Structure 1
Amino acid sequence: MQPWQDPNRSVTERVEALLAELTPHEKAGQLGSFWPIPPEDDTVAGDVAPMSTAFAAGLPWSDSIEHGLGHLTRNYGAGPVSVEDGLAQLRRLQGDVVAQSRHGIPAIVHEECLTGFTALGATVYPAAIAWGATFDPELVREMARAIGDDMAAVGVHQGLSPLLDVVRDYRWGRVEETCGEDPYLVGTLGTAYVQGLQEAGVIATLKHFVGYSASKAGRNHAPAPLGRRELEDMLLPPFEMAVREGGVQSVMNSYSDIDGEPVGASVELLTTVLRDRWGFTGTVVSDYWSVTFLELMHHVAADAAAAGRLALTAGIDVELPGTSSYHSLADDVVAGRLDEKLLDRAARRVLRQKVELGLLDEGWDAQAQGRDRDLDSADNRALARRVAEESIVLVKNDGILPLSGTPRIALVGPTGDDPRTFMGCYSFPNHILSRYEGAGLGIDVPSLADMLASALPAGNVVTALGVPILEPDDSGIEAAVAAARDADVAVVAVGDLAGLFGRGTSGEGCDAVDLSLPGLQGRLVEAVLATGTPVVLLVVSGRPYALGEYAARCAAIVQAFMPGEEGGGAILRVLTGEVNPSGRLPIAIPDHPGGQPGTYLAPPLAWYSEGISNLDPRPLYPFGFGLSYTSFELSDLEASSTQMDVDGSIDVSVTVSNTGDRAGSEVVQLYLSDPVAQVTRPIKALIGYAKVPLEPGESRRVTFTVHADRTSFTGLRHERIVEPGDIVLSVGTSSEDRPLAVTVQITGEERIVGEGRVLTTPIRIEP
């Protein structure tokens, strides 16, 4: 047994023993990857990354593994591969890698898992924006653990999720992949996902570090004109939380350039911030082709080899999805163009993960990797159902909901009878199967029409498409109007169909010009409203759409953020009242489609418009908002002190009561306001929340422990500080409904906050 195969030795001893045996070419081999795309599916590369067809000329298999291999890319996720066939291919490929390596080093296998394992027949959970709507980290953690269990069972070691980008522009196509517009919500839910996935033995990967969501005009793969404060106070905190609190083991760089510097070439971000400041010890993997982009897109490298040197120096350890620019690294070391210490640094990190995964243990056998697995088990579906139910947001209700009796329902609109609209861009049915004519969905996904038909007497539901999601075809509006006129209630189901690069209305590369409902859907809504039949507007989407034109005339509005394979049943149960809605908006719903409305984290000049501008940026329904079929009341706000030292903490307590006649859950939200500061601050910012289930008449006491670090911000000197003076802590049920508040004086001298600050607000919930 070789020293690196001995599990009784420390991880460091094993890594250093193996590293000392490797040649520069073998070290470089550990930093490369290969994507086993079947020849008949060679167009798949063009479907998963911008400009990727320009990089199809990656190394062939034999060359990729000549000196060893770091990663195997998407063994299950490139085409409709069954578990049985995927296992056979994985064992064959790993066998080749081990046989070719002088030291028998296997590859790490990674897959996508943004809405669940992106594989044929795997459960499609709600999209990440729906996780945000749950305001329930423990539920997200449970879901991630289930996803990880499935992946680990079939031999996968790493998942490319979660996305910790904070929404800055609702027009960005990848809003659906985020947890929302607030860094604390994104950070807590993303950290929970990391913990769940890694508890299952699968490495989580933070995406996309950093700035991707702050691109100009919400355009995919565009420059991010960020100031330092926005970067430090809005975009970096979720990543820091997942590193420090979640112990994440991998990070993926952003495609963006920030103030002219591509993140993939940034020593400051990938090494100084991530490792030196935060103590990250895992691997940085490149977003697909982002190393080559340094040459072909950003033009900061003269050729592919120079791009590889830049990326490695900055801190990218593994080039994905295939070896390209990193193919020259060993030759550059031999020729003296690259310091071998940089090669050692990256190879050491990759080998450490392989040791920790057990890939280098004596007796590891490629033919024993993975086992047959039902990837859409009954337990998975039950969990997907719970997440979907907790994510649905009731934003308006004049009393028409829940539906009672056996009403005649006209279900009109393109999301009412198309189950693909329930699923995100990176779900396997939308990501891969949509390219195969007649391939179906690979799993059972009942539409809302299916579920309504099963719940009501025959003939009580009439379904009419009305209009497609995007195509300019209004020929079905007349039939939709006729159906609505003959009904007791019209459920108008509008929204998105996720896709890639213009083949959908939401998803990667599907950015929006404005926030009008896509295609002719707005015309359909107007036509049905004109019938006078009460309208329940159901929006199934990956981003918020402006509803100000319609809201006052709708009897109810329900927002479902791509609720996954169980979405049809979850929506039905909310409409009928079997489920009391508890989702809250992780992103605001705009009033009007233009004017580029921003998020709620805005200083005064970005929020108020009286006498300043004819455009009012404030939303129709604010961040954190949501209704219930019961009623709640907040009372008895109390702070343990009205003074807090610049390095101290206080408790803030409030009682939440269910004053209605049925059980429900309220999300109690704690906001910070800083009335006077040395730089402009958001008018309010979420610093704590708790989802509290309550029986009718029940009250519970919620206590938030607020450390002074939670009030810190980037000051005039670009240092993070706690500033003495008054702050206001307010408690409410949305960012705009904060009825209880207390002023707290921060005392002492201005304090510079070092690394390792308090990132969370602990919560106690008492009877």
Structure 2
Amino acid sequence: MHDYQNPELPIEERVTDLLGRMTLAEKAGLMFHTMAAINPDGTPAAGDAMIPATEDLIRNGGLNHFNILTFGPVTPRKIAEWHNRIQEIAADTRLGIPVTVATDPRHGVIDNPAASASAGGFSAWPEPIGLGATKDPELVRRFADIARQEYLAAGIRVALHPMADLATEPRWARTSGTLGSDADVVSALITAYVQGFQGSSLGPDSVVAMVKHFPGAGPQKGGEDAHFAYGREQVYPGGMWDYHLKPFEAAFAAGAAQIMPYYGMPVDTTYEEVGFGFNRQVIEGLLRQRYGFDGVVCTDWGLVTDAEIMGTPMPARAWGVEHLDRHARVLKIIEAGADQLGGEQCPELIIDLVASGRLSESRVDVSVRRILRDKFRLGLFDDRRFVDPAAAETIAGRPSFRAEGLEGQRRSIVVLTDRPSPADSPSAAGSASDAGSASAAGPVLPLGEGITVYLDGVEPAVAADYAKVTDDPALADVAIVRRAAPYEPRGGGFEAFFHAGRLAWTDEELAPVLQLAGTLPTVVDVWLDRPAVLTPLAGKAAALVGTFGVSDVALLDVLFGRAPATGTLPFELPSSMAAVEASREDVPNDTKDPLFPYGHGLVI
């Protein structure tokens, strides 16, 4: 037995022993954190131009950090079986270094390949912005602890979340992944999030929280996203740079083990105008020196190599260094202070850089030591290398976890308006003698069970548990309509998943809802993945509700009074696009005369 295989020795001794036995190629492989695809039957997917075969990457490339990509529905048991298969491959390599499996968020009701996966066999919770609407650190801590248990059972050891970014720019396409716009509230929630995943310190029962996107994405110029060249610039017209650092400071205090910088390129600041992953002033200067962070820094995906994603050409997000070749980009990333390159699989570039004398092997060793340290802390070299697929099936998505997720969804729902019904309108709550009902002159919510409802965007089979369902509005007491927040479609493929641009509906998009609201009391729910302009609906809908990724069951439980409405807005809702365009990207809740202010929400 070598010293690194001896669980009785201190971790630093084990790291030093293993590091001394590694070839440069093996070290270089550890510095890449890329994708691995899983078939529905739990087998590793065959490689293609976008995602090479996982076995080849492990055996021949020395890679052993993988963000899982599932093709079709894959149960937690099948993820666990896949995990064990690739661990067996890794155990058969020269040094047997175990694989570390990571995932983007996968506890939501919404499925968006650009940001998160739907829950599948895991418990389903609101999107992070919905957790922000609860403003409850204990609920967030409980979510993170449940997600930790589910991930751990399936073999997932790194959560590529939370996002500590602030939702200060209303048009930004990734708002739904944040916890809101207020730095102090987000800081409290981030603390709970990190502690729920990692515990008091990183250990065998932990899942690493890779907090992103340092030093705070969100203030993107014009609200565009830095995945794309037209959105690469990050701006601070309100001088709020330090404000965006607050949630990261909370994450550091909570013990966050890993950090991911964003793609964005700061402009008109004191920092070099290059993407944060290439930015030595930001990573080495701010993160390492000012904050003393000595954990793993992993870049966001695809900073070095041009690729094709979902049939769409995607140039490397090498903002500000587009002129550099791939070797020079890798060198600049490492010299900036990063340890791993996300979404890349080109260890040969690091080998070339060392061979040419442009990069010292001692600098490589600094990063490899950090990376190995986390593998040892997580117990991957010892009892945690393999998982029990049967236990994954039992633990992930267990009924109590699903129930808590559903309760989290309910608690995130925000009732924005609940106006009295016109005297000549049918009662939305049934007869005045019904228990818990309101008269025709009273508020619309809660709706009375057993009324007749017309549905648009709600599953009739779900609603039938609450009311009679009709497909004729003329026969209905109330209409219930669900809509996604408006956006401006851009391109196809990967870009289509980024809801960007306008926050207001067109007249054509609004017409069916307004026509319905003109004929009978209409409850309108809007999925607020961004702060929509709801001004045209606010005076027309009988009740207006904001949700953040919740099921029909969670919504109807609140609308029909089976659960209280307690959520409050995690960002303000602007009154117009003109107000949005006049606001400053880095300043929270900065639109003039918002329709609904931050924290608004009726208690029903």
- For normalisation by structure 1, the TM-score amounts to 0.65
CA distance in 1: counterparts of 2:128 and 2:487, whole angstroms = 13
Matching residue of 1:610 = none
Q: Which of 362, 366, 387 is matched with 1:345 structurally?
A: 366
CA distance in 2: counterparts of 1:352 and 1:156, whole angstroms = 17
Matching residue of 1:759 = none
The alignment status of 1:138 with 2:135, answered yes or no, reads no
CA distance in 1: counterparts of 2:527 and 2:34, whole angstroms = 37
The alignment status of 1:282 with 2:295, answered yes or no, reads yes
The alignment status of 1:91 with 2:84, answered yes or no, reads yes
Matching residue of 1:394 = 415
The alignment status of 1:108 with 2:121, answered yes or no, reads no
2:453 partner amino acid: I
**1:421-440 superposed matches below 5 A:** none
Tell me if structure 1 keeps the 8 A contact 2:240–2:587. no
Please report how far the alpha carbon of residue 62 of structure 1 lies from its aligned counterpart in structure 2 after TM superposition.
Answer: 2.9
Please report how far the alpha carbon of residue 551 of structure 1 lies from its aligned counterpart in structure 2 after TM superposition.
Answer: 1.2
The alignment status of 1:264 with 2:277, answered yes or no, reads yes
CA distance in 2: counterparts of 1:364 and 1:620, whole angstroms = 51
1:242 partner amino acid: A
What SS does the aligned partner of 2:80 have?
helix
Deviations 1:432-484 (A, max 9, x none): xxxxxxxxxxxxxxxxx33321122xxx3224xxxxxxxxxxxxxxxxxxx43
The alignment status of 1:551 with 2:538, answered yes or no, reads yes
Q: Pick closer, same or farther for the CA change 1:5–1:620 going to 2, 3 Å.
A: same
Q: Which of 185, 199, 209 is matched with 2:214 structurally?
A: 209
1:455 partner amino acid: Y
Q: Which ranges in structure 1 are unaligned for 5 or more consecutive residues?
A: 46-52, 418-448, 464-482, 608-616, 630-767
CA distance in 2: counterparts of 1:589 and 1:89, whole angstroms = 44
The alignment status of 1:538 with 2:525, answered yes or no, reads yes
Matching residue of 2:113 = none
Q: Which of 461, 470, 486 is matched with 1:462 structurally?
A: 470
Deviations 1:587-625 (A, max 9, x none): 112222344254898599x66xxxxxxxxx221110011
2:85 partner amino acid: R
Deviations 1:109-138 (A, max 9, x none): 111225359464223321011101101111
CA distance in 2: counterparts of 1:120 and 1:401, whole angstroms = 32
What SS does the aligned partner of 2:218 have?
helix
Please report how far the alpha carbon of residue 382 of structure 1 lies from its aligned counterpart in structure 2 after TM superposition.
Answer: 0.5
Q: Which of 216, 220, 228 is matched with 2:225 structurally?
A: 220
Q: Which of 605, 613, 621 is matched with 2:596 structurally?
A: 621
Please report how far the alpha carbon of residue 143 of structure 1 lies from its aligned counterpart in structure 2 after TM superposition.
Answer: 0.8
Please report how far the alpha carbon of residue 224 of structure 1 lies from its aligned counterpart in structure 2 after TM superposition.
Answer: 2.9
Tell me if structure 1 keeps the 8 A contact 2:182–2:588. no
Matching residue of 1:320 = 342
Q: Pick closer, same or farther for the CA change 1:201–1:503 going to 2, 3 Å.
A: farther
CA distance in 2: counterparts of 1:587 and 1:66, whole angstroms = 48
Q: Pick closer, same or farther for the CA change 1:354–1:497 going to 2, 3 Å.
A: farther
Q: Which of 498, 515, 518 is matched with 1:527 structurally?
A: 515
CA distance in 2: counterparts of 1:583 and 1:11, whole angstroms = 44
Tell me if structure 2 keeps the 8 A contact 1:265–1:294. no
- For normalisation by structure 2, the TM-score amounts to 0.82
Please report how far the alpha carbon of residue 61 of structure 1 lies from its aligned counterpart in structure 2 after TM superposition.
Answer: 4.2
What SS does the aligned partner of 2:445 have?
coil
CA distance in 2: counterparts of 1:272 and 1:169, whole angstroms = 26
Deviations 1:184-224 (A, max 9, x none): 22222122111111235111111222343222221122123
Matching residue of 1:719 = none
CA distance in 2: counterparts of 1:135 and 1:203, whole angstroms = 23
CA distance in 1: counterparts of 2:355 and 2:298, whole angstroms = 24
**1:415-494 superposed matches below 5 A:** 415-417=457-459, 449-456=460-467, 460-463=468-471, 483-494=472-483
Tell me if structure 2 keeps the 8 A contact 1:150–1:373. no
CA distance in 2: counterparts of 1:602 and 1:321, whole angstroms = 31
What SS does the aligned partner of 2:174 have?
helix
CA distance in 2: counterparts of 1:234 and 1:210, whole angstroms = 10
Matching residue of 1:251 = 259
CA distance in 2: counterparts of 1:161 and 1:247, whole angstroms = 14
**1:33-112 superposed matches below 5 A:** 33-37=33-37, 56=50, 61-62=55-56, 64-66=58-60, 68-74=62-68, 77-100=70-93, 102-112=94-104
Deviations 1:9-40 (A, max 9, x none): 22222212222222322221221245333699
Matching residue of 1:241 = 250
- How many residue pairs end up in the alignment? 544
CA distance in 2: counterparts of 1:263 and 1:494, whole angstroms = 36
Matching residue of 2:10 = 10
Matching residue of 2:566 = 582
The alignment status of 1:403 with 2:458, answered yes or no, reads no
Say which one has the larger Rg: 1
1:323 partner amino acid: Q
Deviations 1:369-389 (A, max 9, x none): 884424322112101111011
Matching residue of 1:511 = 499
Matching residue of 1:307 = 329
Identity of aligned residues (%): 30
What SS does the aligned partner of 1:455 have?
coil
Tell me if structure 2 keeps the 8 A contact 1:167–1:175. yes
Tell me if structure 1 keeps the 8 A contact 2:133–2:570. yes
CA distance in 2: counterparts of 1:571 and 1:87, whole angstroms = 33
CA distance in 2: counterparts of 1:21 and 1:498, whole angstroms = 54
What SS does the aligned partner of 1:251 have?
strand
Q: Pick closer, same or farther for the CA change 1:8–1:518 going to 2, 3 Å.
A: farther
Matching residue of 1:744 = none
What SS does the aligned partner of 2:464 have?
helix
CA distance in 1: counterparts of 2:146 and 2:507, whole angstroms = 37
Q: Pick closer, same or farther for the CA change 1:198–1:410 going to 2, 3 Å.
A: same
Higher strand share: 1
Tell me if structure 2 keeps the 8 A contact 1:416–1:494. no
CA distance in 2: counterparts of 1:367 and 1:411, whole angstroms = 44
Please report how far the alpha carbon of residue 267 of structure 1 lies from its aligned counterpart in structure 2 after TM superposition.
Answer: 1.2
What SS does the aligned partner of 1:329 have?
helix
CA distance in 2: counterparts of 1:341 and 1:21, whole angstroms = 14
Tell me if structure 2 keeps the 8 A contact 1:164–1:238. yes
What SS does the aligned partner of 2:341 have?
coil
Which one is further off, 81-90 or 282-291? 81-90
Please report how far the alpha carbon of residue 512 of structure 1 lies from its aligned counterpart in structure 2 after TM superposition.
Answer: 3.0
What SS does the aligned partner of 1:142 have?
helix
What SS does the aligned partner of 2:444 have?
coil
**1:105-184 superposed matches below 5 A:** 105-113=97-105, 115=107, 118=117, 120-184=120-184
Please report how far the alpha carbon of residue 497 of structure 1 lies from its aligned counterpart in structure 2 after TM superposition.
Answer: 9.7
Tell me if structure 1 keeps the 8 A contact 2:103–2:160. yes
Deviations 1:278-304 (A, max 9, x none): 222321112221243667654345221
The alignment status of 1:232 with 2:241, answered yes or no, reads yes
Q: Pick closer, same or farther for the CA change 1:320–1:190 going to 2, 3 Å.
A: same
Q: Pick closer, same or farther for the CA change 1:248–1:561 going to 2, 3 Å.
A: same
Q: Pick closer, same or farther for the CA change 1:502–1:190 going to 2, 3 Å.
A: farther
Please report how far the alpha carbon of residue 518 of structure 1 lies from its aligned counterpart in structure 2 after TM superposition.
Answer: 7.0
CA distance in 1: counterparts of 2:159 and 2:6, whole angstroms = 27
Q: Which ranges in structure 2 are unaligned for 5 or more consecutive residues?
A: 109-115, 200-204, 268-272, 306-314, 420-442
Matching residue of 2:549 = 562
1:220 partner amino acid: D
Matching residue of 2:557 = 573
Tell me if structure 2 keeps the 8 A contact 1:33–1:69. yes
Q: Which of 379, 387, 392 is matched with 2:400 structurally?
A: 379
Matching residue of 1:687 = none
